[in-house]
Amino acid sequence: MERREVAAWVAVGLIVIGLPSAVLGYQHWLRLAAAEQRVIDIQAYAPERGGFAPDAIRVAVNEPVTLRFAAMDVTHGVALGPGLGVDLGHIDPGKVKEISLTFDRPGTYTYYCNTWCGPDHWRMRGTIQVIDPANPDLLPAAQPDPVIAALIAEGVDIDAQHDAGRKHGDAPALIIERPPSAQRGATLFGSVTIPPEVSDPAWRRSHPPAHVLELLRQTNRQAPQADLIDVVAYLWTTDTAPETLAAAESLYNKNCAACHGQTGGGDGPAAGTTAEKPVAFADAAYLFERRSDVLYAKIRRGGMGTDMPNFGTLFTPEETWALVEYLWTLPVSALPEPR
Ligand code: HEC
Ligand SMILES: [Cu+2]
């Protein structure tokens, strides 16, 4: 069948679906149209009822497919990643949403629920294996993440106790009296001596703000501590374009806020269900002791034996960095005007 003809068939098919009284004769055409485009039906159940069925599918490279998701019990949300930019949004019970797409290279992708649908919500994931029919056994192996590899090489324990062995109730190592203002930090920036390494965004990713605060204190002995804290907050929130931050905020609200809280209070609706408390990113004194690359690694790899899910198969490295940048805005009271 010619290509344009196929498009016409599909168009007719769509019109027919729209009409409740489908004429019998059209059904034959419809079936022909369907034969051209493989449709894979995927049913979405809450995780305690089994999650996605099926939870693994295989498609061929360059094979146009339609994935049709049906919410079977409660409202779910469906997104595809990493790097596919597909978010079908909410699917209410009994409703169906579909996406037609073609994968242009072999690899592994994930479809996942991004609407809170129950305590085990984040376990709702399915795998898409895209295979090359000429070479069905040759799936590209997952590449080790260079950031995580570097942390391991450096001997950093991604799962180390977050508060550096401090017991609950101990005074935090760093005292931050009010939420840091990156906006104020931007205005003070010019009057503070910044050690050269600190100006390097790559260097900042592997050092905690608390460390930089210490460096700034040594080079700016006259400056009040609160000023230096604001300058550091500025430094940690300047690297990302506003559009990127906005996209990360949306990812955060859909995938993280259920546990970590929409404003980073560690108090989302699911926070009570996790064995260990979800980290409160809004706590500046806490977050200032953390390194961006460790946060990145934790998001991609998940916690070891904690309820922190792994997101490495859902998000690209770029999306993960954007999430980290977004986390840094949570303890900050005011962001500077975009440059
Ligand atoms: C099911 C609840 C849950 C969800 C959903 C969740 N987290 Fe977590 N997260 C936790 C818990 C519990 C911890 C603490 C235990 C740990 O670090 O493993 C944690 C820890 C973390 C840490 C480590 C912080 C540190 O100081 O080392 C980061 C970073 C993080 N989460 C980011 C995220 C992001 C980003 C998302 C969404 C993409 C997310 N989390 C979704 C429960 C959750
Ligand atoms: Cu769900």
- Which 3 state secondary structure label does DSSP give 312? coil
Question: What φ, ψ does residue 125 adopt, rounded to 5°?
Answer: -140, 150
Expressed in angstroms and rounded, the spacing between residue 115 Cα and the centre of ligand 2 is 6
What mean pLDDT do residues 28-41 have? 70
Task: For residues 30 and 81, state if they share a domain.
Answer: no
Pick the ligand that lies closest to the CA of residue 125. 2
What mean pLDDT do residues 319-330 have? 97
Task: For residues 271 and 325, state if they share a domain.
Answer: yes
Please identify, among 138, 171, 186, the residue that sits at the C-terminal boundary of a domain.
Answer: 138
* pLDDT the model gives residue 305: 83
Task: For residues 147 and 217, state if they share a domain.
Answer: yes
* pLDDT the model gives residue 304: 86
Task: For residues 169 and 276, state if they share a domain.
Answer: yes
Measured CA to CA, the distance from residue 16 to residue 6 in angstroms comes to 15
- What atom in ligand 1 is closest to the CA of residue 314? 38
| Token pair listed for 290 | 């953390």
Q: Given pLDDT bands bounded at 50, 70 and 90, which one contains residue 317?
A: very high
Residue 21 pLDDT > 50: no
Q: What is the CATH number of the domain that holds 96?
A: 2.60.40.420
Task: For residues 149 and 280, state if they share a domain.
Answer: yes
255 lines ligand 1 (CB under 6 A): yes
Measured CA to CA, the distance from residue 181 to residue 184 in angstroms comes to 5
Residue 20 pLDDT > 60: no
Which region among 18-32, 127-141, 165-179 has the lowest average model confidence (pLDDT)? Answer: 18-32
Please identify, among 110, 138, 166, the residue that sits at the C-terminal boundary of a domain.
Answer: 138
Long-range contact set of residues 251-259: C-beta below 8 Å, sequence gap at least 24? 251/315, 251/319, 251/322, 251/323, 251/326, 252/323, 252/326, 252/327, 254/77, 254/79, 254/114, 254/115, 255/114, 255/122, 255/311, 255/314, 256/323, 258/116, 258/121, 259/307, 259/308
Handedness of CA 168, 171, 177, 181 (dihedral sign): negative
Please identify, among 86, 109, 138, the residue that sits at the C-terminal boundary of a domain.
Answer: 138
Handedness of CA 146, 150, 153, 155 (dihedral sign): negative
Expressed in angstroms and rounded, the spacing between residue 308 Cα and the centre of ligand 1 is 4
Which region among 3-12, 76-85, 193-202, 238-247 has the lowest average model confidence (pLDDT)? Answer: 3-12
Residue 336 pLDDT > 70: yes
* pLDDT the model gives residue 120: 86
Task: For residues 212 and 122, state if they share a domain.
Answer: no
Overall domain count for the chain = 3
* pLDDT the model gives residue 177: 87
| Token pair listed for 198 | 């600190």
For the chain, give the mean pLDDT: 88
* pLDDT the model gives residue 281: 97
User: DSSP characters for 1-41?
Assistant: --HHHHHHHHHHHHHHHHSSS--HHHHHHHHHHHHHSEEEE
Task: For residues 156 and 132, state if they share a domain.
Answer: no
Work out the percent of the chain whose per-residue pLDDT is above 70.
86
Task: For residues 131 and 152, state if they share a domain.
Answer: no
191 vs 96, 144, 228, 312, CA distance in Å? 58, 42, 10, 40
70: β partners: 43, 96
79: β partners: 87, 112
What mean pLDDT do residues 211-238 have? 95
Q: What is the CATH number of the domain that holds 288?
A: 1.10.760.10
* pLDDT the model gives residue 77: 96
Other beta carbons within 10 angstroms of residue 29's beta carbon come to 15
Sequence-distant (6+) residues with CB within 8 A of 59 are 38, 40, 65, 103, 128, 129, 130, 131
Task: For residues 190 and 336, state if they share a domain.
Answer: yes
Measured CA to CA, the distance from residue 179 to residue 10 in angstroms comes to 56
Task: For residues 125 and 173, state if they share a domain.
Answer: no
Sequence-distant (6+) residues with CB within 8 A of 79 are 86, 87, 88, 111, 112, 114, 254, 314
Which tens digits make up the pLDDT trace of 48-94?
999 999 999 999 999 999 999 999 999 999 999 999 999 999 999 99
- What atom in ligand 1 is closest to the CA of residue 323? 35
What mean pLDDT do residues 94-100 have? 97
308 lines ligand 1 (CB under 6 A): yes
Pick the ligand that lies closest to the CA of residue 275. 1
Which tens digits make up the pLDDT trace of 146-194?
999 999 999 999 988 665 445 445 555 788 889 999 999 999 999 999 9
Residue 19 pLDDT > 50: no
Helix, strand, coil abundance in the chain, percent, nearest 5: 40, 15, 45
* pLDDT the model gives residue 23: 47
* pLDDT the model gives residue 235: 96
Task: For residues 30 and 163, state if they share a domain.
Answer: no
What mean pLDDT do residues 294-322 have? 95
The amino acid present at 301, given as its one-letter code, is R
| Token pair listed for 124 | 């709702």
307 lines ligand 1 (CB under 6 A): yes
302 lines ligand 1 (CB under 6 A): no
Place of tokens 């990156």: 182
Task: For residues 42 and 190, state if they share a domain.
Answer: no
Sequence-distant (6+) residues with CB within 8 A of 338 are 241, 242
Determine the structural domain holding residue 96 and report its residue range: 38-138
Pairing of strands 65-71, 38-44: parallel
Long-range contact set of residues 24-30: C-beta below 8 Å, sequence gap at least 24? none
